[in-house]
Amino acid sequence: MRLLLILCLLSWHTGAAAATGRAEALFAANAGAVVQVRVIDRASGDKSGIGSGFQVAPDGLLATNFHVVAEFAHQPQRFRLEYRDRNGQSVPLELLDVDVVHDLALLRAPAPLAVTLAPGGAEPAHGQRLYSLGNPLDLAMSIVEGSYNGEVSGARYRKLLFSGALNPGMSGGPALDESGAVVGVNVARGGEQIGFLVPVEFLRQLLARREDARWQALGMEERIAEALLADQEQYFAGLLDGPWETQSFGGFRVPGRISAALRCWGGSSDRPGLRYEHSAQECGSQDAIYIDETLQTGELRYEFHRFASRELNTAQFYGLLAGNYRHGEHYNASDREHVGNFRCREDFVRGSGIDWRVSFCARRYQRYAGLFDLSVAMASTDLLQRGLVVRLGVDGISERRARELLGRFIEVIEWTP
């Protein structure tokens, strides 16, 4: 037994030494391709934001995250871009293109770096060792070892799960496999020893778009708007064309988890003395597209509130429904430069055996033509001792898809006496 323990310890130390040696070799070979990207406030000369980036072509083309350079992308008159070389010298950068949906950006340096990290090919195997490079917390260029644990489940926007300690400042840096191939781009942390990577295929797509003359002729806001519109069109076209999962909900049939990118929760009220029954279900997406610190978009959420009572009279029961007939909150925008005020229309609509009172509200995106935030409140009006309140919210949807989505909800929800 003692001999076995010694052999196991020797084996562990040998493996740890090999992993350490690999990290050391990868850092030595590839750190020259990685820089700290800085957003500088023109007025003060101080840095407003930092991240990491890496050279993806030998002509000085760098990749990073969109959220690292978003301030400059929106307000180039207020900010400038630079990177710090390994000698501490500042070098100016030019913003060439962005993929706002997948949080990527391409930059140009005036002179190439010594090392290039070309985007890799095959997706890593589950459990494979990965090595992330970047400048955490503005401390020093570092390498972080972790492992690949598949794609994040239940996400609308594909991300790879990296079991390693990513920290602020590493956003935009490369994640390498043991051969030194780029398999992803650092994008976010989810907690201790949990990080997320943008799959490298989206970086390859962004690089290929440099050959699209029509795209390159668009301004930055036009590129963002077109990408957002295309993303919502693809998502809602698939959502509305396919069948919806429905489920029983206290005498009703309601949409369940209508997309794999949604998660659902349920609950009920059981306070002593309550004169009515209340049960609720809520479904919502778990991720969004970062535009800037005051605007995120791309989320879908809906909730159902079922009420029933044998103790309340008709007037009291409809008063209960009326008190819960209200819109959900929208927290995706905190700056009126991005969105206008909600404009609402109320109507009475006949659905699948249910009469509805419906409030349909939308607010326009100021910079991105064709996009709206949608908010809907619905309450049944014709059922005795039983009623349903529905709240639906979408951040970033076209007017046509918004009306189709509402129509589908009205069509699918049924009363099952």
Lowest mean pLDDT among 15-29, 134-148, 215-229, 253-267: 15-29
User: What count of other Cβ atoms lies within 10 Å of the Cβ of residue 217?
Assistant: 9
Residue 280 or residue 6, greater confidence: 280
**What is the reported pLDDT for 2?**
47
Q: What is the pLDDT of residues 308-318, one digit of tens each?
A: 999 999 999 99
Domains of the chain: residue spans and CATH: 226-415 (3.40.1000)
pLDDT digits (tens, 9 = 90+) for 81-138: 999 877 778 999 999 999 999 999 999 999 999 999 989 877 888 999 999 999 988 8
pLDDT for 392 equals 98
In this prediction, residues 155-164 reach a mean pLDDT of 91
- Cβ neighbourhood burial of 166 (10 Å; 0-12, 13-18, 19+): buried
Phi and psi (nearest 5°) for 103? 60, 55
Q: How far is CA 29 from CA 127, 151, 307, in A?
A: 23, 28, 64
pLDDT of residue 8: 39
Q: How far apart are CA 256 and CA 243, in angstroms?
A: 11
- 187: helix, strand or coil: strand
- Percent of the chain scored above 70 by pLDDT? 94
Alpha-carbon distance values, 148 to 53, 170, 185 (Å): 21, 17, 13
Give pLDDT, residue 1: 47
The answer to whether residues 174 and 196 touch, using CB atoms and an 8 Å cutoff, is no
The pLDDT of residue 75 is above 90: yes
In this structure, the dihedral spanned by the alpha carbons of residues 298, 287, 129 and 69, taken in order and rounded to 10 degrees, is 60
Distance CA(326)–CA(52), nearest Å, equals 44
Residues in the chain: 417
User: Is residue 160 over pLDDT 80?
Assistant: yes
Q: What is the pLDDT of residue 19?
A: 55
Helices and strands (H, E) in the chain, number of each type = 7, 25
Residue 219 has pLDDT above 90, yes or no: yes
The pLDDT of residue 191 is above 90: no
Quick one: which of 177, 184, 175, 149 has its CA closest to 163? Answer: 149
pLDDT at 335 > cutoff 70: yes
pLDDT recorded at residue 12: 38
pLDDT, one tens digit per residue, over 347-401 is: 999 999 999 999 999 999 999 999 999 999 999 998 788 999 999 999 999 999 9
pLDDT of residue 51: 96
Q: How far is CA 84 from the centre of its chain?
A: 29
Pinpoint the alpha helices (H) of 123-280: 200-208, 213-216, 220-241
**Each residue of 13-72: pLDDT tens digit?**
444 445 568 899 999 999 899 999 999 999 999 999 999 999 999 999 999 999 999 999
| Alpha carbon separation from 225 to 98, 238, 291, 354, 363 (Å, rounded) | 12, 20, 11, 38, 16
Strand-pairing partners, residue 374, are 362, 394
On whether the CB atoms of residues 396 and 379 are closer than 8 A, the answer is no
Distance of CA 19 to the CA centre of its chain: 32
**pLDDT category of residue 337 using cuts at 50, 70 and 90:** confident
Q: Which is more confident, 335 or 61?
A: 61
DSSP 326: -
Q: H/E element holding 191? A: strand 182-191
pLDDT tier, 5 (very low <50, low <70, confident <90, very high otherwise): very low
pTM above 0.85, yes or no: yes
Is it the case that residue 305 has pLDDT exceeding 80? yes
How many CB atoms lie under 10 A from the CB of residue 227? 18
Token output for 203: 């970086």
| 205, 212 contact by CB (below 8 A) | no
Q: What share of the chain is helix, strand, coil (3-state, %, to 5)?
A: 25, 40, 35
What is the distance, to the nearest Å, from the Cα of residue 205 to the centroid of all Cα atoms in its chain? 18
If pLDDT is split at 50, 70 and 90, which confidence band does 153 have?
Answer: confident
Assess contact for 56 and 116: CB atoms under 8 A: yes
3-state secondary structure 81-128: EEEECCCCCEEECEEEEEECCCCEEEEECCCCCCCCCCECCCCCCCCC
**Span 227-249, pLDDT tens digits:** 999 999 999 999 999 999 999 99
Burial class of residue 417 (count of CB atoms within 10 Å of its CB; 0-12, 13-18, 19+) = exposed
Amino acid at 329: E
Tokens of 29: 């070979």
Residues forming a β-bridge with 138 = none
Burial of 228 (0-12, 13-18, 19+ CB in 10 A): buried
Please calculate the CA angle 409-410-416 and round it to the nearest 5 degrees. Answer: 100
pLDDT of residue 21: 83
Identify the band that residue 10 occupies on the pLDDT scale cut at 50, 70 and 90.
very low
Residue reference for tokens 């002179």: 111
What does the alpha-carbon distance between residue 197 and residue 30 come to, in Å, rounded to a whole number?
18
Report the chain's mean pLDDT, rounded to a whole number.
91
